[in-house]
Amino acid sequence: MALTPGESDRLLLFTQAQLARARRERGLRLNVPEATAYIADAVCEMARDGLDLPTVRERAKHLLGIADVLPEVPDLMTDVRVEARFDDGTRLVVVSDPFCMGLHPQDGGVAPLGDLSLDVTNEAETAIALSSHIHLAEVNPRLRLDRSAAFGRRLAIPSGATIWIGAQETVTLPTTPLRGERVVIGNTGLVNGSVDDPDVRAQALTALRRCGYLDIVDGVGVNNRADAESAVARLVAERRGQS
């Protein structure tokens, strides 16, 4: 039986989850790999059953409690991430607070900067990679997303990690605000300055749309494939001129 790499990974995850389920049934408390596989496998199966992403994400938070895992696991496992195939495409599912510990500000705690999930569609004929710290508003012109919502944000994935989006594929990706000084200079040449400056933001978004970047404004697509290809050609020409 010939399996794709993705199918092989899915079978490996299922095997790990089966081991975790068997150990839990014997009354053993799960460690980090076991708890991760247990939740991730359930996410994939719920997606296969036709449930939508928000429902899957919420149900996944209630699969295990702190009594089901070793004492140190909740501190080590702040989220579970797995790519699952839904009826409308493959999506990265991020299950935050997987043991429903209630990671909310309390006792004077500080709330984290707001996270946001964005739908991204690759309208190219080839896969496109996104790295962890790229400014999302400036990503490949052939990717259609709400660039206004993405302005000042990056992917909420580990530093140095990369996510591939297949041709004609739509994925939902977790994002988080840029940290530090929040100044972007030189990525595409269309955003130069503080992402918190309203003028920088307005000028950059106007320039991105004028150059042909695929965008979504008020739920409506802006620009088409030909516009995006023109934007790519411009970027390639500029980079050749700089070399």
Angle, to 10 degrees, between the axis of helix 5-25 and the axis of helix 32-48? 120
Q: Rounded to an integer, what distance in angstroms lies between the CA atom of residue 169 and that of residue 167?
A: 5
Go through 91-129 and write b for each residue having 16 or more CB atoms within 10 A of its CB, e for each that does not.
Answer: bbbbbbebbeeeeeeeeeeeeeeeeebbbbbbbbeeebe
Residue in this structure with the two tokens 């009826």, named with its chain if needed: 87
Q: Rounded to an integer, what distance in angstroms lies between the CA atom of residue 154 and that of residue 139?
A: 10
Domain boundaries, the chain: 1-101, 114-243
Residues in contact with 180: Cβ distance below 8 Å, sequence separation at least 6, in sequence order: none
More confident residue, 206 or 157: 206
Q: Quick one: average pLDDT of 121-132?
A: 90
Q: CA angle, corner 116, sides to 72 and 169, nearest 5?
A: 105
Q: What is the DSSP string of 100-112?
A: ----S--TTPPPP
Provide the pLDDT confidence category of residue 114 given band limits of 50, 70 and 90.
low
**Superfamily of chain region 1-101:** Urease, gamma-like subunit (3.30.280.10)
* pTM of the predicted structure, to 2 decimals: 0.55
> How does pLDDT run across 38-75, given as a tens digit for each residue?
999 999 999 999 999 889 988 998 899 888 999 889 88
What pLDDT was estimated at residue 113?
A: 43
Quick one: CATH architecture of 114-243? Ribbon (2.10)
First CA to last CA across the chain, in angstroms? 48
3-state secondary structure of 228: helix
